[in-house]
Chain A
Protein backbone atom coordinates (compact mmCIF):
# COMPACT_ATOMS: atom_id res chain seq x y z
CA UNK A 1 0.00 0.00 0.00
CA UNK A 2 1.50 3.36 -0.97
CA UNK A 3 2.21 5.90 1.74
CA UNK A 4 -0.48 8.40 2.49
CA UNK A 5 0.29 12.09 2.66
CA UNK A 6 -0.98 15.59 2.31
CA UNK A 7 0.57 18.91 1.44
CA UNK A 8 0.07 22.49 2.49
CA UNK A 9 0.75 25.11 -0.14
CA UNK A 10 1.33 28.67 1.02
CA UNK A 11 -1.13 30.81 -0.90
CA UNK A 12 1.05 33.91 -0.59
CA UNK A 13 4.30 32.00 -1.19
CA UNK A 14 3.05 30.35 -4.39
CA UNK A 15 3.80 32.14 -7.66
CA UNK A 16 1.62 29.88 -9.78
CA UNK A 17 4.41 28.48 -11.96
CA UNK A 18 2.61 25.14 -12.03
CA UNK A 19 5.75 23.00 -11.78
CA UNK A 20 4.26 21.10 -8.83
CA UNK A 21 1.08 20.40 -10.77
CA UNK A 22 2.85 18.83 -13.75
CA UNK A 23 5.21 16.86 -11.54
CA UNK A 24 2.61 15.30 -9.24
CA UNK A 25 2.56 11.59 -10.09
CA UNK A 26 -0.98 11.10 -8.79
CA UNK A 27 -2.52 14.33 -10.12
CA UNK A 28 -3.55 15.66 -6.72
CA UNK A 29 -2.65 19.29 -7.41
CA UNK A 30 -4.06 22.03 -9.61
CA UNK A 31 -3.79 25.77 -10.12
CA UNK A 32 -6.68 27.78 -8.78
CA UNK A 33 -7.31 29.82 -11.90
CA UNK A 34 -10.42 31.45 -10.52
CA UNK A 35 -8.60 33.17 -7.69
CA UNK A 36 -5.38 35.05 -7.06
CA UNK A 37 -3.27 35.76 -4.02
CA UNK A 38 -2.36 39.29 -2.94
CA UNK A 39 0.36 39.43 -5.61
CA UNK A 40 -2.26 38.80 -8.28
CA UNK A 41 -0.97 35.32 -8.98
CA UNK A 42 -2.90 32.09 -9.31
CA UNK A 43 -1.83 29.57 -6.76
CA UNK A 44 -1.63 25.81 -6.53
CA UNK A 45 -3.80 23.80 -4.19
CA UNK A 46 -4.55 20.21 -3.36
CA UNK A 47 -7.50 18.81 -5.25
CA UNK A 48 -7.37 15.23 -4.12
CA UNK A 49 -6.14 14.50 -0.64
CA UNK A 50 -6.86 10.81 -0.88
CA UNK A 51 -4.32 10.10 -3.58
CA UNK A 52 -1.30 11.99 -2.20
CA UNK A 53 1.53 9.50 -1.68
CA UNK A 54 3.85 11.87 0.22
CA UNK A 55 6.51 11.55 -2.50
CA UNK A 56 7.59 15.21 -1.99
CA UNK A 57 8.08 15.74 -5.72
CA UNK A 58 6.00 18.91 -5.54
CA UNK A 59 8.05 20.28 -2.66
CA UNK A 60 11.35 19.40 -4.32
CA UNK A 61 10.44 21.06 -7.62
CA UNK A 62 8.80 24.12 -6.03
CA UNK A 63 11.25 27.02 -6.56
CA UNK A 64 9.80 29.07 -3.76
CA UNK A 65 9.72 26.49 -0.99
CA UNK A 66 5.99 27.14 -0.68
CA UNK A 67 5.05 23.52 -0.04
CA UNK A 68 5.09 21.63 3.24
CA UNK A 69 4.61 17.86 3.14
CA UNK A 70 3.13 15.57 5.77
CA UNK A 71 2.97 11.81 5.85
CA UNK A 72 0.59 9.55 7.69
CA UNK A 73 2.42 7.97 10.61
CA UNK A 74 2.51 4.23 10.12
Chain B
Protein backbone atom coordinates (compact mmCIF):
# COMPACT_ATOMS: atom_id res chain seq x y z
CA UNK B 1 0.00 0.00 0.00
CA UNK B 2 1.18 3.46 -0.82
CA UNK B 3 2.20 5.72 2.00
CA UNK B 4 -0.63 7.90 3.18
CA UNK B 5 -3.39 5.78 1.67
CA UNK B 6 -5.95 3.57 3.36
CA UNK B 7 -7.77 0.52 2.09
CA UNK B 8 -11.40 1.26 1.30
CA UNK B 9 -12.51 -1.72 -0.78
CA UNK B 10 -11.32 -5.26 -1.20
CA UNK B 11 -12.72 -8.62 -2.19
CA UNK B 12 -14.89 -9.96 0.63
CA UNK B 13 -13.24 -12.64 2.74
CA UNK B 14 -16.42 -14.69 2.46
CA UNK B 15 -15.66 -15.24 -1.22
CA UNK B 16 -13.26 -18.14 -1.61
CA UNK B 17 -9.95 -17.80 -3.42
CA UNK B 18 -11.03 -20.17 -6.18
CA UNK B 19 -11.27 -18.44 -9.56
CA UNK B 20 -14.89 -18.30 -10.71
CA UNK B 21 -15.57 -20.14 -13.96
CA UNK B 22 -18.04 -17.53 -15.21
CA UNK B 23 -17.45 -15.82 -18.55
CA UNK B 24 -16.02 -12.28 -18.56
CA UNK B 25 -18.62 -9.73 -17.50
CA UNK B 26 -21.15 -12.24 -16.17
CA UNK B 27 -23.51 -10.98 -13.46
CA UNK B 28 -23.47 -14.36 -11.75
CA UNK B 29 -20.02 -13.43 -10.54
CA UNK B 30 -21.09 -9.89 -9.61
CA UNK B 31 -24.04 -11.25 -7.65
CA UNK B 32 -21.88 -13.83 -5.84
CA UNK B 33 -19.55 -11.03 -4.84
CA UNK B 34 -22.33 -8.72 -3.67
CA UNK B 35 -23.98 -11.51 -1.68
CA UNK B 36 -20.74 -12.41 0.05
CA UNK B 37 -20.13 -8.74 0.84
CA UNK B 38 -23.51 -8.70 2.55
CA UNK B 39 -22.72 -11.92 4.44
CA UNK B 40 -19.48 -10.33 5.63
CA UNK B 41 -21.12 -7.05 6.60
CA UNK B 42 -23.95 -8.71 8.50
CA UNK B 43 -21.50 -11.12 10.15
CA UNK B 44 -23.68 -14.13 9.28
CA UNK B 45 -21.12 -16.48 7.70
CA UNK B 46 -21.70 -19.03 10.45
CA UNK B 47 -25.45 -18.72 10.32
CA UNK B 48 -26.19 -18.87 6.63
CA UNK B 49 -26.87 -21.95 4.51
CA UNK B 50 -27.23 -21.73 0.73
CA UNK B 51 -28.70 -23.92 -1.96
CA UNK B 52 -27.30 -23.78 -5.47
CA UNK B 53 -29.08 -24.89 -8.60
CA UNK B 54 -28.37 -26.69 -11.81
CA UNK B 55 -27.23 -24.21 -14.41
CA UNK B 56 -24.20 -21.97 -14.77
CA UNK B 57 -24.10 -21.41 -11.01
CA UNK B 58 -24.05 -25.12 -10.21
CA UNK B 59 -20.60 -24.63 -8.69
CA UNK B 60 -21.59 -21.66 -6.51
CA UNK B 61 -20.49 -23.68 -3.47
CA UNK B 62 -16.95 -23.54 -4.81
CA UNK B 63 -16.98 -19.76 -4.51
CA UNK B 64 -19.18 -18.83 -1.58
CA UNK B 65 -17.47 -19.65 1.69
CA UNK B 66 -20.63 -20.74 3.47
CA UNK B 67 -22.33 -24.10 4.04
CA UNK B 68 -24.20 -25.11 0.90
CA UNK B 69 -26.20 -27.87 -0.71
CA UNK B 70 -26.34 -28.56 -4.43
CA UNK B 71 -29.92 -29.23 -5.52
CA UNK B 72 -31.40 -31.14 -8.43
CA UNK B 73 -32.57 -29.00 -11.34
CA UNK B 74 -35.47 -26.83 -10.21
CA UNK B 75 -35.65 -28.18 -6.69
CA UNK B 76 -33.66 -25.53 -4.84
CA UNK B 77 -36.78 -24.04 -3.25
CA UNK B 78 -37.80 -27.45 -1.88
CA UNK B 79 -34.28 -28.10 -0.60
CA UNK B 80 -34.17 -24.64 1.00
CA UNK B 81 -37.57 -25.34 2.57
CA UNK B 82 -36.22 -28.53 4.14
CA UNK B 83 -33.17 -26.75 5.54
CA UNK B 84 -35.06 -23.74 6.86
CA UNK B 85 -37.76 -25.85 8.50
CA UNK B 86 -35.08 -27.73 10.40
CA UNK B 87 -33.13 -24.58 11.26
CA UNK B 88 -35.55 -21.66 11.55
CA UNK B 89 -32.88 -19.65 13.35
CA UNK B 90 -30.47 -19.83 10.40
CA UNK B 91 -30.49 -17.68 7.28
CA UNK B 92 -31.20 -19.72 4.17
CA UNK B 93 -31.08 -18.74 0.52
CA UNK B 94 -31.69 -20.44 -2.77
CA UNK B 95 -29.64 -19.22 -5.69
CA UNK B 96 -31.34 -20.09 -8.97
CA UNK B 97 -31.32 -19.26 -12.64
CA UNK B 98 -34.33 -18.74 -14.88
CA UNK B 99 -34.53 -22.32 -16.16
CA UNK B 100 -34.26 -23.64 -12.63
CA UNK B 101 -36.65 -21.28 -10.87
CA UNK B 102 -39.11 -20.37 -13.61
CA UNK B 103 -39.30 -23.47 -15.83
CA UNK B 104 -38.61 -26.88 -14.32
CA UNK B 105 -38.91 -25.63 -10.75
CA UNK B 106 -41.80 -23.20 -10.96
CA UNK B 107 -44.07 -25.45 -8.88
CA UNK B 108 -41.53 -25.49 -6.05
CA UNK B 109 -41.05 -21.71 -6.39
CA UNK B 110 -44.77 -20.93 -6.28
CA UNK B 111 -45.56 -23.26 -3.40
CA UNK B 112 -42.60 -22.14 -1.31
CA UNK B 113 -43.74 -18.54 -1.82
CA UNK B 114 -47.35 -19.40 -1.05
CA UNK B 115 -46.29 -21.05 2.20
CA UNK B 116 -44.24 -17.96 2.94
CA UNK B 117 -41.13 -20.07 3.44
CA UNK B 118 -38.86 -17.75 5.34
CA UNK B 119 -35.85 -17.89 3.07
CA UNK B 120 -34.46 -15.65 0.35
CA UNK B 121 -34.61 -16.41 -3.34
CA UNK B 122 -31.77 -14.97 -5.37
CA UNK B 123 -33.03 -15.31 -8.92
CA UNK B 124 -30.64 -14.72 -11.80
CA UNK B 125 -32.68 -13.94 -14.88
CA UNK B 126 -30.48 -13.73 -17.96
CA UNK B 127 -33.14 -14.89 -20.40
CA UNK B 128 -31.18 -17.84 -21.68
CA UNK B 129 -29.83 -21.27 -20.77
CA UNK B 130 -26.18 -20.39 -20.50
CA UNK B 131 -24.62 -23.62 -19.31
CA UNK B 132 -26.15 -25.86 -21.95
CA UNK B 133 -25.13 -23.52 -24.75
CA UNK B 134 -27.71 -20.81 -25.17
CA UNK B 135 -31.17 -22.37 -25.47
CA UNK B 136 -34.47 -20.58 -24.91
CA UNK B 137 -35.44 -19.87 -21.31
CA UNK B 138 -38.91 -19.13 -19.90
CA UNK B 139 -37.67 -15.53 -19.66
CA UNK B 140 -36.23 -15.23 -23.18
CA UNK B 141 -37.64 -12.04 -24.69
CA UNK B 142 -40.08 -12.00 -27.57
CA UNK B 143 -38.12 -12.19 -30.80
CA UNK B 144 -34.86 -13.01 -29.01
CA UNK B 145 -32.77 -15.53 -30.88
CA UNK B 146 -31.42 -18.58 -29.06
CA UNK B 147 -30.27 -21.97 -30.31
CA UNK B 148 -33.77 -23.38 -29.79
CA UNK B 149 -35.54 -20.26 -31.04
CA UNK B 150 -33.23 -19.55 -33.98
CA UNK B 151 -35.80 -17.28 -35.65
CA UNK B 152 -36.58 -15.42 -32.45
CA UNK B 153 -38.97 -16.38 -29.65
CA UNK B 154 -42.44 -16.68 -31.10
CA UNK B 155 -45.07 -16.07 -28.40
CA UNK B 156 -47.60 -18.12 -30.38
CA UNK B 157 -45.33 -21.11 -30.01
CA UNK B 158 -43.50 -20.47 -26.78
CA UNK B 159 -45.67 -18.01 -24.85
CA UNK B 160 -44.38 -14.75 -23.46
CA UNK B 161 -41.48 -14.45 -21.03
CA UNK B 162 -42.48 -15.10 -17.43
CA UNK B 163 -42.36 -12.14 -15.09
CA UNK B 164 -41.48 -13.80 -11.82
CA UNK B 165 -41.37 -10.72 -9.59
CA UNK B 166 -44.81 -9.73 -10.80
CA UNK B 167 -46.09 -13.25 -10.12
CA UNK B 168 -44.62 -13.87 -6.67
CA UNK B 169 -45.51 -10.41 -5.38
CA UNK B 170 -49.16 -11.50 -5.57
CA UNK B 171 -48.76 -13.78 -2.57
CA UNK B 172 -49.67 -12.36 0.85
CA UNK B 173 -47.02 -14.63 2.32
CA UNK B 174 -44.20 -13.04 0.34
CA UNK B 175 -42.67 -10.16 2.25
CA UNK B 176 -40.28 -8.52 -0.14
CA UNK B 177 -39.82 -8.58 -3.90
CA UNK B 178 -37.37 -6.46 -5.84
CA UNK B 179 -35.90 -6.65 -9.32
CA UNK B 180 -32.40 -5.28 -9.52
CA UNK B 181 -29.51 -5.35 -11.96
CA UNK B 182 -25.74 -4.95 -11.97
CA UNK B 183 -25.42 -3.05 -15.24
CA UNK B 184 -24.11 0.14 -13.62
CA UNK B 185 -22.26 0.79 -10.38
CA UNK B 186 -25.38 2.53 -9.05
CA UNK B 187 -27.58 -0.47 -9.85
CA UNK B 188 -25.04 -2.90 -8.42
CA UNK B 189 -25.07 -0.90 -5.18
CA UNK B 190 -28.88 -1.06 -5.19
CA UNK B 191 -28.71 -4.80 -5.80
CA UNK B 192 -26.47 -5.21 -2.79
CA UNK B 193 -28.82 -3.14 -0.63
CA UNK B 194 -31.73 -5.29 -1.80
CA UNK B 195 -29.91 -8.52 -0.92
CA UNK B 196 -29.06 -7.09 2.47
CA UNK B 197 -32.65 -6.07 3.12
CA UNK B 198 -33.89 -9.48 2.06
CA UNK B 199 -31.58 -11.21 4.54
CA UNK B 200 -32.58 -8.75 7.25
CA UNK B 201 -36.30 -9.29 6.64
CA UNK B 202 -35.67 -13.01 6.73
CA UNK B 203 -33.91 -12.62 10.07
CA UNK B 204 -37.02 -10.81 11.29
CA UNK B 205 -39.11 -13.77 10.13
CA UNK B 206 -41.28 -11.75 7.77
CA UNK B 207 -41.79 -14.42 5.09
CA UNK B 208 -40.40 -15.18 1.68
CA UNK B 209 -38.03 -12.65 0.16
CA UNK B 210 -37.34 -12.62 -3.54
CA UNK B 211 -34.59 -10.75 -5.36
CA UNK B 212 -34.49 -11.03 -9.13
CA UNK B 213 -31.28 -9.91 -10.77
CA UNK B 214 -31.93 -8.86 -14.37
CA UNK B 215 -28.74 -10.38 -15.69
CA UNK B 216 -26.67 -10.68 -18.79
CA UNK B 217 -25.13 -13.56 -20.69
CA UNK B 218 -22.57 -12.17 -23.12
CA UNK B 219 -21.62 -15.66 -24.33
CA UNK B 220 -25.19 -16.86 -24.79
CA UNK B 221 -26.34 -13.56 -26.27
CA UNK B 222 -23.30 -13.61 -28.53
CA UNK B 223 -22.13 -10.11 -27.74
CA UNK B 224 -19.46 -8.33 -25.74
CA UNK B 225 -19.98 -7.60 -22.05
CA UNK B 226 -20.42 -3.92 -22.95
CA UNK B 227 -23.04 -4.73 -25.59
CA UNK B 228 -24.86 -6.92 -23.09
CA UNK B 229 -25.39 -3.84 -20.92
CA UNK B 230 -26.94 -2.04 -23.88
CA UNK B 231 -29.27 -4.97 -24.52
CA UNK B 232 -30.38 -4.95 -20.90
CA UNK B 233 -31.20 -1.24 -21.05
CA UNK B 234 -32.88 -1.28 -24.43
CA UNK B 235 -34.60 -4.66 -24.51
CA UNK B 236 -34.78 -6.26 -21.10
CA UNK B 237 -35.65 -3.44 -18.68
CA UNK B 238 -38.72 -2.28 -20.65
CA UNK B 239 -40.17 -5.79 -20.22
CA UNK B 240 -38.56 -6.58 -16.85
CA UNK B 241 -38.68 -3.20 -15.09
CA UNK B 242 -36.37 -2.72 -12.13
CA UNK B 243 -37.77 -1.73 -8.79
CA UNK B 244 -39.50 -2.81 -5.62
CA UNK B 245 -42.65 -4.85 -6.23
CA UNK B 246 -43.44 -5.48 -2.64
CA UNK B 247 -41.97 -4.61 0.72
CA UNK B 248 -42.94 -5.07 4.33
CA UNK B 249 -45.50 -2.53 5.49
CA UNK B 250 -43.55 -1.00 8.33
CA UNK B 251 -40.66 -0.10 6.05
Interface on A for B, CB 8 Å cutoff? 5-6, 12-13, 15-19, 22-23, 41, 54-73
Please indicate the chain B residues that have their CB under 8 angstroms from the CB of A61 in the complex: 30, 182, 184-185, 188
**Contact pick for A67, options B9, B28, B30, B224, CB 8 Å:** B9
Known contacts A63-B20, A64-B33; 18 further A-B pairs (Cβ under 8 A): A6-B5, A15-B24, A19-B25, A22-B226, A23-B184, A41-B24, A58-B185, A60-B188, A61-B184, A63-B22, A63-B24, A63-B28, A63-B29, A64-B29, A69-B7, A69-B10, A70-B1, A70-B2
Contact present for A68 and B7 (CB under 8 Å): yes
Nearest Cβ on chain B to A53's Cβ, whole angstroms: 12
Q: How far is the CA of A61 from the CA of B20 in the complex (A)?
A: 16
Interface residues of B in 14-56 (CB under 8 A from A): 15, 19-20, 22-30, 33
Q: How far is the CA of A59 from the CA of B9 in the complex (A)?
A: 7
Contact present for A71 and B8 (CB under 8 Å): yes
Contact present for B24 and A17 (CB under 8 Å): yes
Please indicate the chain A residues that have their CB under 8 angstroms from the CB of B218 in the complex: 17
Q: How many CB-defined contacts (below 8 Å) exist between A and B?
A: 91
Please indicate the chain A residues that have their CB under 8 angstroms from the CB of B27 in the complex: 63
Please report the total number of B residues contacting A with Cβ < 8 Å.
34
Contact present for A71 and B6 (CB under 8 Å): yes
Nearest Cβ on chain B to A71's Cβ, whole angstroms: 5
Contact present for B6 and A57 (CB under 8 Å): no
Asked if B12 is at the interface (CB within 8 A of a chain A CB), the reply is: yes
Contact present for A60 and B185 (CB under 8 Å): yes
Sampled A-B contacts (26; CB under 8 Å) = A12-B19, A15-B25, A17-B218, A22-B229, A41-B24, A54-B8, A55-B185, A56-B8, A60-B9, A61-B30, A61-B184, A61-B185, A62-B30, A62-B33, A63-B30, A64-B29, A64-B33, A65-B11, A66-B11, A68-B10, A69-B7, A69-B8, A70-B1, A70-B2, A70-B6, A71-B8
Nearest Cβ on chain A to B165's Cβ, whole angstroms: 23
Q: How far is the CA of A30 from the CA of B44 in the complex (A)?
A: 36
Q: How far is the CA of A65 from the CA of B15 in the complex (A)?
A: 9
Asked if B4 is at the interface (CB within 8 A of a chain A CB), the reply is: yes
Contact present for A18 and B4 (CB under 8 Å): no
Q: Known: A60-B188, A63-B29, A70-B2. Is A16-B7 also a contact (CB below 8 A)?
A: no
Q: How far is the CA of A16 from the CA of B8 in the complex (A)?
A: 23
Q: How far is the CA of A55 from the CA of B9 in the complex (A)?
A: 10
Asked if B189 is at the interface (CB within 8 A of a chain A CB), the reply is: yes
Q: How far is the CA of A55 from the CA of B185 in the complex (A)?
A: 10
Contact present for B10 and A63 (CB under 8 Å): no
Nearest Cβ on chain A to B223's Cβ, whole angstroms: 12
Contact present for A57 and B185 (CB under 8 Å): yes
Q: Known: A60-B185, A63-B30, A65-B15. Is A19-B2 also a contact (CB below 8 A)?
A: no
Contact present for B26 and A63 (CB under 8 Å): yes
